[in-house]
Amino acid sequence: MLNNKFYQVATESKVIPEREEISQDYKWNLTDVFKSDDEWENEFKSVSEKVSGYKEFEGKLAESAEKLLACFKYDEEVNIKLDRLHLYAMLSKDSDMRVGKYHSMDDRIKSLYAKVGAASSFIRPELLKIPDEKLKSIIDSYEALRIYKHSIDDLLRSKEHTLSNSEEKILAMASELAQTPYDTFSIFTNADLKMPSIEDEFGSTIELSHGRYYSAMYSKDREYRARVFKAYLESYKSYVNTFTVLFNGNLKTNIFNAHARNFNSALEASLHKNNIPTSVYHNLIESANQNLQPMHRWAGLKKKLLGISELCPYDVYVTVFNSHNEKKYSYEEGIEIVLNSLKLMGDDYLSSLNKAFNNRWIDVFETKAKRSGAYSSGTTFGVHPYVLLNWTDLLNDVFTLTHEMGHNMHSYYTGQNQHYPYANYSIFLAEVASTFNESLLLDHLLEIAESRKEKLFLLERYLNNLTATFYRQVMFAEFEMMVYDRTEKGESLTSEVLSDLYKSIYQKYWGPEMFVPEEEQYTWARIPHFYYNFYVYQYATGFAASEVLAKKVKTEGEPAVNKYMDFLKAGSSDYPINILTKAGVDMNSPEPVRAVCERMNQVLDEMERLL
């Protein structure tokens, strides 16, 4: 059992601890990536020297299967090392965002990515100049090339959106500049944005942080929640013009890239790379808008249960029922609960989870200037994935843990079973694995619930999770679609326009029972996912797909588990929708989305029955 006394002492003092105050057992072990910064520097130099090696292949890809294979292998070697360099720099930087050295390393990696991208930019257009049948014949004629067949088919699909060699080189060289809006947003909101000190529930003065904001939204003290909500968003309001410039810069960057590649819109360009039709995006929003009644029903019921005259945004996460809401969960307790909830996945899955828990793949606690939130690092070929947490001892942290471990296992099994070209997966698939774990965790907690109040608490937890993971993400997706649409039409998005638009869409989704205070309209300015270019809708589609898969695993047993494990191992060896179809979910059908709405009504019915 790990000893968390270091963290307890720090949190009891109401001061966010420094990183050195936390036991090594709770911090990720980066020596699995590089033994030292010096080793990183040596590898960086090695990769930098390889950039010029691409010239050997330029203009020669159609000469022979051997030459084509040599080019592919060279490109893989460079990118495998580059990805590993990036992982180390990113994790080091996110551990303490005040350390300039790691920001410099991260910046250098981005520059090196741009140089490699420019040097290798000839590959796609040169391959596309080869007649389709000849290229396919080359691939089929050489066994070592056949693993690239799906990659080549995918490349040919993008033929009309691939530019000339010189144009591709220019776009590759500009890729580093395209990161400026998000990079600026990230460093500003995580390191430079000053948060005020406020009075907590117990009358003590505490320094507000991202982690403490999220924790406060679960507090039973409504006045405290309101104080934190107002103070936190006032910080963003104070710099709303800066955030507006960054936000618009990101929109225009993505629109420029889309139009440069002959797409009709940024949405089409974003979905094209995973072969997702734009109809999936539009159908998601339309279906959700046609099924807002469960959301409005829940808002009315929650207002009644809380005994308040107005439901406000800072009321939506707090629990009404008293079964587990005051209980604190240590990290060790969270691990035990997660493992028990996933027992039906079998020994292989559980063994892989324990490998992560026991070998410091996870950075657990909030520390000074550590990156906020939580994430899994994704697949880095030849290295296990890592997870960042900011543990606050709430049940929500247990759900975050199982969510990120869903990502982690997806990345781990993909890396273990796929060749480099397919050792990754789209975000469209990523959120399936994470919300699948959450669904099984909730079912496990409901199964072991010993009282009516405990069941009510967990049903409420499910509803809070559903609104956050499904409806809230669809709301974000609709907001994102609207701001891109307006920008593409040439409309100006001032801070007032963005704030009014966000407030109106928030009101629509929550309905007439929700009172939307002024501060909520600035929430758009703090959402990092809006810089990821049509990312958030995949939370909602992933949630819908995971509900179907979790039900199959529970009802069908081992055959469904085996299909799900195949899903985790598939990586990007096929298009995302096809991989889900093999697992048992048809995302071309609106039924998964409708099933979520029907499930929400069923949970509301059960809750009202127990009340």
Q: What is the pLDDT of residues 472-514, one digit of tens each?
A: 999 999 999 999 999 999 999 999 999 999 999 999 999 999 9
In the chain, where the domains are located: 25-178, 236-325+426-611
SS3 per-residue string spanning 129-167: HCCHHHHHHHHHHCHHHHHHHHHHHHHHHCHHHCCCHHH
Q: How far apart are CA 373 and CA 539, in angstroms?
A: 16
Strand order in the sheet with 362-365: 362-365, 387-391, 375-376
Given 168, 404, 438, 460, the catalytic residue: 404
pTM of the model: 0.77
Residues 6 or more apart whose CB falls under 8 angstroms from that of 30 comprise 88, 91, 92
pLDDT at 7 over 60: no
In 3D, which of 151, 120, 70, 155 has the Cα closest to residue 420?
Answer: 151
Q: What is the average pLDDT across 245-265? A: 95
pLDDT at 120 over 60: yes
Share of the chain above pLDDT 70, in %: 97
Q: How many residues does the chain have?
A: 611
Torsion of CA 29, 33, 39, 45, to 10 degrees: -150
Which residue did the predictor score with more confidence, 535 or 72? 72
Q: What is the average pLDDT across 333-360? A: 97
Q: How far apart are CA 420 and CA 161, in angstroms?
A: 24
b/e map 78-108, b = 16+ CB within 10 Å: bbbbbbbbbbbbbbbbbbbbeeeebbebbee
In 3D, which of 331, 271, 240, 317 has the Cα closest to residue 477?
Answer: 271
Q: What is the mean pLDDT of the chain?
A: 92
Q: How far apart are CA 593 and CA 291, in angstroms?
A: 10
Can you give the pLDDT at residue 14? 59
Q: Any idea which fold 236-325+426-611 has? A: Neurolysin; domain 3 (1.10.1370)
Phi, psi of 173 (to 5 degrees): -65, -30
Tell me, yes or no, if 404 is annotated catalytic: yes
Q: What is the pLDDT of residues 166-224, one digit of tens each?
A: 888 888 888 888 889 999 999 999 889 989 999 988 889 989 998 899 889 989 999 99
Q: How far apart are CA 3 and CA 23, in angstroms?
A: 8
First vs last Cα of the chain: how many Å apart? 39
Chain centroid, CA 524 distance in Å: 17
pLDDT band of 451, cuts 50, 70, 90: confident
Q: What is the pLDDT of residues 379-420, one digit of tens each?
A: 999 999 999 999 999 888 999 999 999 999 999 999 999 999
pLDDT at 2 over 60: no
pLDDT band of 159, cuts 50, 70, 90: confident
pLDDT at 449 over 90: no
Question: Span 25-178: which CATH code?
Answer: 1.20.140.70
Two tokens, residue 222:
């409504």
pLDDT band of 1, cuts 50, 70, 90: very low
Residues 6 or more apart whose CB falls under 8 angstroms from that of 364 comprise 7, 22, 26, 27, 331, 389, 391
Query: Which H helix or E strand runs over 9?
Result: helix 5-12
Is 546 strand, coil or helix? helix
In 3D, which of 207, 148, 158 has the Cα closest to residue 10?
Answer: 207
Share of the chain above pLDDT 90, in %: 74
Residues 6 or more apart whose CB falls under 8 angstroms from that of 316 comprise 217, 302, 464, 467, 510
Chain centroid, CA 41 distance in Å: 29
pLDDT at 16 over 60: yes
